Amino acid sequence: MKQAFLIAPLLWVLALPAWADARGAVLLEVLKIAEIVKILQAEGETYAETLNQEMLQGKGGAGWQLQVANIYDPDRIADTLSARLDAELQGDLREEVIAFFASDTGQRIVTLENAARAAINDQTIEDAARERYFELEGSDDPRLAQISALIESGDMIDRNVTATMNSNLQFMRGLVDGGAAEMTQDELIADISAQQEAITIDTTSWLYGYLLLAYSPLPDDMLDAYVEFSLSDAGVALNRALFDGFGAAYEDISYALGRAVALNVIAQEL
């Protein structure tokens, strides 16, 4: 299917006027996509080291590191996101997104989100962020209410849970296809489905903790403006594009990681 659609989008992009490509580049710039991709790459390296310790007995070595670097190729991730943003955001919708995120409010929000995302890769900071959420959970704290409104505006918990389950499924498929596990498709799906409740609980505390950390310096009126934007047609389209783009990227990454782990496991057994 991917091959069948390769030619048409390329010709379509080439047929666009120069200003359209330029506005797409502006969109990526105001959203700081290159910055977040680098942060996600660092997260991937941390996760890959966990896999190395837990599944490869710490014996992955330089070969494993090279495989991980190829799997978390920032250009590939950025291309996947860019394609989805381009598909979802055209014309007025794109201009509304650019206008919001080019503003002082929008730039401050993206900067804070990226800084918090980089910081929370440290387990100590992640634990503290989750603990802050647990302290506020169920209270009438006004900042918690604002963040709840933002999360609900983008259906962020359910979307994140779905994305995580799909990624986990792809990882297991990679293990199976690589010969390191034996499970049928039905068994894979049943195994992942059984994780849904635990994933939902974990996702909720991580997401609230992360957003509480990210927006802690943000004035109430700026966060209110962000919630309002997220409920607009442009905000909904952007949210959908980002979730679809990141979801597709992480499914590919997870499958590749599963295959890479399988190949390394088998190599160690030989």
pTM: 0.89
Structure tokens at 261: 């782990």
193: three-class secondary structure by DSSP: helix
Evaluate whether 130 touches 205 at the Cβ level (below 8 Å): yes
Q: Where are the domains of the chain?
A: 18-269
What digits encode the pLDDT tens for the residues 55-105? Answer: 999 999 999 999 999 999 999 999 999 999 999 999 999 999 999 999 999
Contact 224, 145 (CB under 8 A): no
pLDDT digits (tens, 9 = 90+) for 166-224: 999 999 999 999 999 999 999 999 999 999 999 999 999 999 999 999 999 999 999 99
CA-closest candidate to residue 254, choices 183, 205, 207, 192? 192
Max distance between CA atoms of the chain, in angstroms, equals 61
How many CB atoms sit inside 10 A of residue 109's CB?
A: 21
Q: Tokens in use for 139? A: 């209270």
Locate 189 and state its tokens.
Answer: 């799906």
Q: What is the pLDDT of residues 248-258, one digit of tens each?
A: 999 999 999 99
Do 227 and 211 touch, CB atoms closer than 8 A?
no
